Amino acid sequence: MLNGLHVLLYLSLIFNTNILNASIYDEDILNIFSKVLPRLVLMSSQKNDIKNKINICLLRDEIDERTALLLIERTNKYYPNGIKDYQINFIITSYANISECINTSASFLFNSNDANIKEALEFSHAHRILTISYDSKFLKDGVDISMFLGRKVTPYINAKSIRNKDIELNNTLLRISRIYNSDTK
């Protein structure tokens, strides 16, 4: 009987990729990002380029499609009518189709391989797009903002990469954030 249970569990793991995919991203952290993504854009000089909607690009690998849709769903739940007279528009694309992000204020980077992250950062730098990553380890590669998970969850800002793009951040955001530098662990 125990062997039958093992086989059933093994088969359910193989055929239910939702279980595997859900373990990669923490739902509470995704929930935090769904609340702050539009606000981060509005707390930066990127808001000066917004006409009537905030365009945010979600860069992901194929396996992260459902997680990206979950992030959009939760953001729409918190901001059903947009934020401060701006609609929120998401563009979901793969790292291979990064050119679809060209007219966005920010790109949210789901975890991927080093080559994809590097290409996304080069593209974002060339087009002055604010980059926000799920994983703070990408700050060392040049991501602009992530989340610091300590006793409190606070924005984690790579001031050097933001400065290199000539993007300015609101003083309030800077005061509540942790500043990343290459010596930070």
Q: Which of 34, 43, 32, 61 is nearest to 157 (CA)?
A: 43
What does the pLDDT average to over 157-184? 91
53 close to 87: Cβ distance less than 8 angstroms? yes
Residue 183: predicted pLDDT: 65
Secondary element (H or E) of residue 155: strand 153-158
What does the pLDDT average to over 64-70? 96
Query: What's the whole-model pTM score?
Result: 0.84
What does the pLDDT average to over 105-117? 97
More confident residue, 13 or 152: 152
Residue 151: predicted pLDDT: 85
Edge to edge, the sheet with strand 106-109 lists 87-94, 53-60, 106-109, 130-133, 145-149, 153-158, 178-180
What does the pLDDT average to over 94-110? 97
Give the number of other CB atoms < 10 A from CB of residue 86.
20
105 close to 123: Cβ distance less than 8 angstroms? no
Report which residue type is found at 74: R
- Give the Cα separation of 28 and 26 in Å (integer): 6
For the chain, the helix, strand and coil percentages under 3-state DSSP, each to the nearest 5: 50, 25, 25
Residue 11: predicted pLDDT: 42
- Per-residue pLDDT band for 150 (boundaries 50, 70, 90) equals confident
- Per-residue pLDDT band for 32 (boundaries 50, 70, 90) equals very high
What does the pLDDT average to over 47-52? 92
Contacts 24+ apart (CB under 8 A), 74-80: 74/30, 74/31, 74/34, 75/34, 75/35, 75/37, 75/38, 77/34, 78/34, 78/35, 79/38
- Give the Cα separation of 16 and 8 in Å (integer): 12
Percent of the chain whose predicted confidence (pLDDT) is above 70: 86
- Per-residue pLDDT band for 3 (boundaries 50, 70, 90) equals low
- Per-residue pLDDT band for 29 (boundaries 50, 70, 90) equals very high
Average pLDDT, the chain: 88
Q: Is the pLDDT of residue 177 over 70?
A: yes
Residue 15: predicted pLDDT: 43
Q: Is the pLDDT of residue 22 over 90?
A: no
